[in-house]
Amino acid sequence: MFNDAESFLQESMDRHKALKTFRARVAWNLTFNYEGTWQGSDPTPRTIVYAAPNRFRIQHGDARLNHLYLCDGKSYQLIMTGFQIPGEQKDVPTSLATSDLVDSHPHFGGSFLYALFGGRENLPLLLGKKNPGTVRFEADSVVEGEPCKTVVFGGGTYYKERRVWISVKDGLVRQVEGSDDPKPLGPEALEENRKQLREIKANPAWKHMTPAQQATLTKRFTKTMTPAARTVETLSELVVNQPIADNEFTVEVSPEAAARNKAEAERLSRGIVQKLGDPAPAFRATVLADGRPLNLAELKGKVVLIDLWATWCGPCVRGLPETLALQKAYERKGVVVLAVSDEDKATVTGFLKANKKLAGLNAVLSPDASKSFGVRAIPTVVVVGRDSKIAAAFVGLQSPQTLRAALDKALAAR
């Protein structure tokens, strides 16, 4: 019926948009290619419950830890049910297809699958800007008993290439896949690998291994590149256009549980281990432009914005133009803006040369800044006040208004 892959994909997107409700189970799997063999752990379960346009319940994970995203159309929240921690309220999206989950990593319940529910007008968002390439067909396949056509296109934030398997019977997606090529390891990762190899060799079991086993371990922990990676989300038990009760989009967290975990929830929202008002930790750093060492203590008396980022992090890269804009706008007010990466000089230099729009960015290299702040995810932005204490901290890509407000508040403090 369709000879053109892009037209087939658009038709599928329109069918997803036309759905009044959608329910499915998902098995998500992350695998890495070691020595030509794909290896990974058991699939992580996920459930999707959706009522157009913007009510959804996405639960991702197992009994130990899972992320529960709830939007009843009026409020939107994340609850990490493994810890019973109510997260901060999120901005209510106009639809699932435009929610923050579209651009979140599937490890946390995100998926580019959700973009399909926006219809064909959402195609640019689905294709992304990273190697969009040509939309094309690959060999037909069968997924969960459903004959499917395979459509391939370029990657978004996290992938070089993506695939969707679309049922030829109802036009709905049964499986999605994102894959990426190997990337250079940063200095921190290389040192961690060397440390692990030293510990393995110090273990008495090392002497009892065969030379082949020792060679395999040595090779694995002396690699300078990450392995190729692939994520696969397989859908099953689809139910569409059936009534869904309102209470499926809400959950009650007891006041006791909320109070007990408030401090932890605040820490997670900051993305660092320190509390607001704590002294900013020291860390080793070098200014990329001239190689001079940088000591945070030398900047006491100035407001400092520290943007912790990496070249491989899509949200980080998208936020760098705003970091540069803040640098230019606030330098005359005495604010120092530092774009801090733990990667090596060659990696960061090559990235900035390839991104001319970032010319002038005050890039800084630091192997231990993220460790000093206890960062779990990037981008993380920390604002340090004139008193060298932490004035604000944010994890994830923030709006320009949020960062400017934090700087203005720090400048106004005495």
Of 211-215, 218-222, 346-350, least confident by mean pLDDT is 218-222
pLDDT score at 207:
80
Neighbours of 279 (CB within 10 A): 13
- Asked if 149 contacts 8 with a C-beta cutoff of 8 angstroms, the reply is yes
Most confident range (mean pLDDT) of 186-190, 272-276, 280-284, 303-307 is: 303-307
**Among 365, 394, 31, 331, CA closest to 188:** 365
* pLDDT exceeds 60 at position 84: no
* Contact partners, residue 319, CB within 8 Å, separation at least 6: 307, 309, 379, 397, 398
pLDDT score at 209:
78
Of 32-41, 51-60, 82-91, 298-307, least confident by mean pLDDT is 82-91
pLDDT score at 239:
96
Average pLDDT in the 215-222 region? Answer: 80
Give how far Cα 211 sits from Cα of 105, 206, 216, 217, Å: 39, 10, 9, 10
* pLDDT exceeds 80 at position 82: no
pTM: 0.56
Give residue 83's pLDDT band: very low, low, confident or very high (50, 70, 90): very low
pLDDT score at 19:
97
Q: What percent of the chain has pLDDT over 70?
A: 86
Neighbours of 63 (CB within 10 A): 8
pLDDT score at 227:
67
* 93-131 per-residue burial string, b: 16 or more CB within 10 A, e: under 16: bebbbbbbbbbbbbebbbbbbbbbbbbbebbebbbbebe
> Residue 310: helix, strand or coil by DSSP?
coil
pLDDT score at 176:
94
Question: Tokens in use for 32?
Answer: 């890495």
pLDDT score at 85:
46
**By CB neighbour count within 10 A (0-12 exposed, 13-18 middle, 19+ buried), where does 6 fall?**
middle
Give residue 45's pLDDT band: very low, low, confident or very high (50, 70, 90): very high
* pLDDT exceeds 50 at position 1: no
Dihedral-angle region of residue 360 (phi above 0 means left; psi in -120 to 50 means alpha; beta otherwise)? left
Query: What is the side-by-side strand order in the sheet with 390-395?
Result: 286-287, 363-365, 336-341, 304-309, 380-384, 390-395
Radius of gyration of the chain (CA): 23
* pLDDT exceeds 90 at position 81: no
**Among 188, 208, 29, CA closest to 107:** 29
Neighbours of 69 (CB within 10 A): 24
- Looking at per-residue confidence, does 28 or 261 come out higher? 28
CA 354 to chain centre: 23
pLDDT score at 354:
86
Give residue 68's pLDDT band: very low, low, confident or very high (50, 70, 90): confident
pLDDT score at 214:
85
* 293-311 per-residue burial string, b: 16 or more CB within 10 A, e: under 16: ebebeebeebbbbbbbbbb
Average pLDDT in the 252-276 region? Answer: 60
Specify whether domain 271-412 bears CATH 3.40.50.2300. Answer: no
Helices (H), 164-292: 187-202, 211-220, 255-260, 262-270
* Residue showing tokens 């082949």: 212
End-to-end CA distance of the chain: 70
Question: Tokens in use for 91?
Answer: 């901005």
Q: Which residues on adjacent β-strands are paired with residue 24?
A: 48
* pLDDT exceeds 70 at position 132: no
Q: What is the pLDDT of residues 322-373, one digit of tens each?
A: 999 999 999 999 999 999 998 888 889 988 988 889 999 999 999 888 888 8
Q: What architecture does CATH give domain 5-182+228-255?
A: Clam (2.50)
Q: What is the pLDDT of residues 166-196, one digit of tens each?
A: 999 999 999 999 887 766 777 777 887 888 8
As a whole number of angstroms, the distance between CA 186 and CA 355 comes to 19
- Asked if 128 contacts 156 with a C-beta cutoff of 8 angstroms, the reply is yes
* pLDDT exceeds 70 at position 290: yes
pLDDT score at 230:
84
Average per-residue pLDDT for the chain: 84
Question: Tokens in use for 358?
Answer: 């970032």
Give residue limits of the domains in the chain.
5-182+228-255, 187-220, 271-412
* Total length of the chain: 414
pLDDT score at 210:
84
How do 304-309 and 286-287 pair as beta strands? unpaired
- Looking at per-residue confidence, does 400 or 49 come out higher? 49
Q: What percent of the chain has pLDDT over 90?
A: 43
**Among 232, 213, 84, CA closest to 150:** 232
